Amino acid sequence: METLDSNGNLLEDGDNVHVTKDLKIKGMSKTLKRGNLIKNIRLTSDSNSVECRIGKSTIVLKTQFLKKA
């Protein structure tokens, strides 16, 4: 099962990605702004989402809003 970003690039564990759209995170007061760099993503069993750490929290993001750095 392949995990692809919004541009169709193959994502792997440990990749760095950019956010392509401002994202409001449920349960957090923080908003991820467009262009933020997220380091060391982890793939999940779902090919449309990845796990990442924002501060001390681990969140799951949809790959349609991510672009490989």
Query: Using an 8 Å Cβ cutoff, are 15 and 3 in contact?
Result: no
Domain count, the chain: 1
pTM of the predicted protein model: 0.89
Strands 37-38 and 17-19: antiparallel
* pLDDT tens sequence across 2-42: 999 999 999 999 999 999 999 999 888 889 999 999 999 99
Residue count of the chain: 69
**Is 7 part of a structural domain of the chain?**
no
Residue 33 belongs to domain spanning: 17-68
Q: Identify which of 59, 66, 49, 61 has the alpha carbon closest to the alpha carbon of residue 8.
A: 66
Per-residue pLDDT, 30: 85
> Around Cβ 3, how many Cβ atoms within 10 Å?
20
Q: Looking at this protein, which amino acid is placed at residue 50? A: V
Looking up residue 21, the CATH number of its domain turns out to be 2.30.30.40
